[in-house]
Structure 1
Amino acid sequence: MAAPGYLIVEMNIKDMEQYRKYMAEAPAAVKAAGGEYLVRGGRSETLEGDWQPHRVAVLRFPSYETAKSFYDGEQYTKIRKLRAGATDYFNMVLVEGVAAPV
């Protein structure tokens, strides 16, 4: 079984009205690509270090390659444009998870 791929995002939304346009489209694209949201906003607390994210999202995909294909795909490329100007910053990393034991 392939290890899952995770997209980890930190952002600061400055224009919620504009960002809502992005959020109206993004979940369907994530689901169509086999992904799911594990974290989308919600409360957070820094337990160690100096990282102070405003908002965090974590998405899981069946594999690293699936997540990368989602990000690079035509559908999400168009959707990303909907959040242009809606955030002060939007940082996203793709990481490979641990393969489940058989």
Structure 2
Amino acid sequence: MSAYVVIDLDVADAEGFQQYIDGVTPLIDKVGARNILVDPGTETLEGDWNPPTLVIHEFPSKQAVLDFWNSPEYEPYKDLRRKYSTVKVVVAEAN
């Protein structure tokens, strides 16, 4: 069952954050996930959620997300991500 990672992304340093993207993209590909959406122009229709950039990734399963998120390969990129951006991340599994 597919799982979706939804990210509210606020990049503080685009050049620095590119290092994160360059390193993480092959890791995402390796686990069979794919980038569905990156949109810096979202429009809030109701409520007060207004992500500067909305990102959505599709993974094969919620367990695949958790395995990726907690993997030793991803660990150094978390620090890079935190250095150059602020994120809110949720995962949900399709039924």
- Equivalent residue, structure 2, for 1:15: 13
Percentage of matched positions with identical amino acids: 23
Report if the CA contact (8 A) 2:3-2:61 is conserved: yes
- Equivalent residue, structure 1, for 2:94: 97
- Equivalent residue, structure 2, for 1:83: 81
1:35 to 33, 36, 48: 33
Letter in structure 2 aligned against 1:21: Q
Letter in structure 2 aligned against 1:59: H
- Alpha-carbon RMSD across the aligned residues, in angstroms, is 1.2
1:45 to 19, 43, 59: 43
Higher Rg: 1
Matches within 5 A, 1:52-67: 52-67=50-65
1:7-40 superposed Cα distances (whole Å, 9 cap, x missing partner): 1110211111110110111111101011001112
C-alpha distance in structure 1 between counterparts of 2:93 and 2:72, whole Å: 22
Gaps of 5+ in 2: none
Structure 1 residue 41 displacement after superposition: 2.9
- Runs of 4+ aligned residues of structure 1 deviating over 3 Å after TM superposition are none
C-alpha distance in structure 2 between counterparts of 1:64 and 1:72, whole Å: 12
Report if the CA contact (8 A) 2:6-2:55 is conserved: yes
Number of aligned positions between the proteins = 95
Gaps of 5+ in 1: none
Return the TM-score normalized by structure 2: 0.91
